[in-house]
Structure 1
């Protein structure tokens, strides 16, 4: 019976287990860099000069808003010049980043299932051949007799090891909450929303 321990010891677990983990780390790094690139490309207006700070990109909104008329006098007759509310053009400048969902993918879980199945089969083949022949010849006072026999036996044996490897990797990624620092920056950007009447 063969010893299967050397067969198991010959498996490179750095490849079977470490490979998927390394791929998950690289994927997490790529996801973080994608977030950084998204913020740089979408949130700022680049002028192509690395020596200067790129200005923040804003979205401008304009709408009409009814506001109390400061010149309204209830004792005066109501007319076009003496209305309780007047319409104002309002313009809002909103940082573009605050209107978007910033991608923040995080690998939450990595499951690696590795199964190695080694089965050995011992084979033994035995074959036997026997052959015999005889001749009898009578020739005037001479008797000839010939006999021959042969026997052959072949034996072969061996060990066959069947190897089966199964590798299953399950990765669960979630859209993570924004990091605390980025969340605070977005809160400050929301506070910088300016309304111009």
Structure 2
């Protein structure tokens, strides 16, 4: 089994995984909070009449209860037979919130994919040279004199080496977020049940 590359392990340890993973999670929590605030704003703007001085329903005065104001309804007329089996005009008043789908988005799943690719390439160049020098000298003074011979040998060996290192770093990160329409809170569901009871059908007055 080959030994792990200690340099690659060291570089991977220097990657701030806590920041890379924590930032998307924090963003998901903040997105969930914004979605909840958007639901409140939708209910306020669609379901209630606008006041003369519009205020933020949630953050206007955090020390007091929020006052949404008067319920907003839609009224329309139609004809049908009354209890005497005679055609008559009726009017129906229905709260907007009772006929409008309320967005309630929840983050159901979040997947973080992080890929790291480390590639190192080392190229070594080696060159060598060898030189050999020989010098022989001979001298004599007379035929009865001994011959003197001087020999000199010199050798030189040179070696040069160089290394070229190429490093490549590739990082990729993918975030998959899946949001769904969540079930309404118990309080909101009960409020809608009460709004259904507020639906009124009245006979329309016949103009003179």
Task: Evaluate the alpha carbon distance shift between residue 164 and residue 191 of structure 1 in structure 2; reply closer, same or farther with a 3 A threshold.
Answer: same
- Select 2:52's aligned residue among 48, 53, 63: 48
Alignment of 1:27-176 (within 5 A): 27-49=31-53, 53-69=68-84, 85-128=85-128, 152-157=158-163, 159-176=165-182
Of stretches 123-132 and 54-63 in structure 1, the one that deviates more from structure 2 is: 123-132
Residue by residue, what CA displacement relative to the aligned partner does 1:67-111 show, whole Å, maximum 9, x if unpaired? 232xxxxxxxxxxxxxxx222321111001111111111111101
> How far apart are residue 157 of structure 1 and its match?
2.7
Q: State the partner residue of 1:24.
A: 28
> How far apart are residue 183 of structure 1 and its match?
1.2
Whether contact under 8 Å (2:72, 2:95) holds in the other structure is yes
Give the TM-score taking structure 1 as reference length: 0.73
Q: State the partner residue of 1:140.
A: none
- Select 2:192's aligned residue among 174, 186, 196: 186
Unaligned runs of 5+ in 1: 70-84, 133-148
Task: Evaluate the alpha carbon distance shift between residue 118 and residue 53 of structure 1 in structure 2; reply closer, same or farther with a 3 A threshold.
Answer: closer
Whether contact under 8 Å (2:48, 2:68) holds in the other structure is no
Unaligned runs of 5+ in 2: 56-65, 133-154, 204-208
Regions of 4+ moved over 6 Å: none
> How far apart are residue 28 of structure 1 and its match?
1.3
Whether contact under 8 Å (1:2, 1:120) holds in the other structure is no
Give the TM-score taking structure 2 as reference length: 0.70
> How far apart are residue 31 of structure 1 and its match?
1.1
**Alpha-carbon separation, structure 2, partners of 1:58 and 1:8:** 61
* Corresponding residue SS for 2:115: strand
Whether contact under 8 Å (2:44, 2:68) holds in the other structure is no
**Alpha-carbon separation, structure 2, partners of 1:22 and 1:130:** 67
Corresponding pairs, count: 169
Task: Evaluate the alpha carbon distance shift between residue 158 and residue 89 of structure 1 in structure 2; reply closer, same or farther with a 3 A threshold.
Answer: same
RMSD of aligned alpha carbons: 2.8
